[in-house]
Amino acid sequence: MSGDVPVAATHSERRLGPLVPRAVRPGAYLLILGSIEFILAMAITQLGWTVPYSLLTNYISDLGAVHCGFWPAGSAHYVCSPWHLVFNIGIILLGVLLFFGVLLIQNAFRPGLMRTLGLTFLILSAIGAIGVGLSPEDVNLTIHSISALVAFVFGNLGMIVLGFAMFRDTRWDGFRGYSILSGLVGFVGLLLYLTKTYGPLGLGGSERLIVAPVLLWAIVVGLHLARIPTYAPGRIEPHVAA
């Protein structure tokens, strides 16, 4: 009959709408876990400081400095982080969890250039985070700085691009603007940081304005994906939640 809709087409439409493949859910958990453990690692490392640590005047990477002393050399900026291993392991773990988390959530987005670019950018950001932890600022500043810049730029760029990948996909209703705005806020922080136009935020606050949107995005998006019903690819019952 002319009014009938093929069963296969109906299943496909349902799957592209309210459901995500089963592998997406563990990926969502990895995003949440990665961000939360890194936030905790920063907070715990701060507790070990023997001199006051300021969120406004200290770099985030000061937490991972291996040696105690004035840094950069010749400056009046004193750094001493006895629990630097907690921070460095925490940011390496962040990169690893985000790397695999991003790979697992890829099918929560419609296939296309925006998905490929956005996810690739986030993976590069995760690799940058790993590089930061492996090369503390007072051990190898060159690799540390390059890794941090990669994490900063591609993390925020990835959120912007994925915001566009969310269009025409009902699973992302209400998240498109949030994703794009998060990346733009991060780039504002990066601009302030690179031009040393810190204002009341200070250099530490400007740097945190770059990083915070990515961490919050991973938690918010992870929680969203974790609550979407899943389906097993190839199954006939697309409405059965896992």
Q: What is the pLDDT of residue 76?
A: 85
Residue 72, preceding peptide bond in cis (omega within 30° of 0): yes
138, part of any domain:
yes
3, part of any domain:
no
189, part of any domain:
yes
Q: What is the pLDDT of residue 61?
A: 95
36, part of any domain:
yes
Token pair, residue 127, equals 């690799």
Q: What is the pLDDT of residue 17?
A: 58
- Rounded CA-CA distance 64/80 in Å is 9
Contacts of 218 (CB under 8 A, 6+ apart): 31, 32, 34, 35, 98, 101
120 in Cβ contact with 106 (< 8 Å): no
Using DSSP's 3-state secondary structure scheme, residue 69 falls into strand
178, part of any domain:
yes
Domain that holds residue 96: 21-230
162, part of any domain:
yes
- Which residues in the chain land under pLDDT 70? 1-17, 233-242
Q: What is the pLDDT of residue 233?
A: 64
242, part of any domain:
no
Q: pTM of the prediction? A: 0.86
Query: What is the number of structural domains in the chain?
Result: 1
11, part of any domain:
no
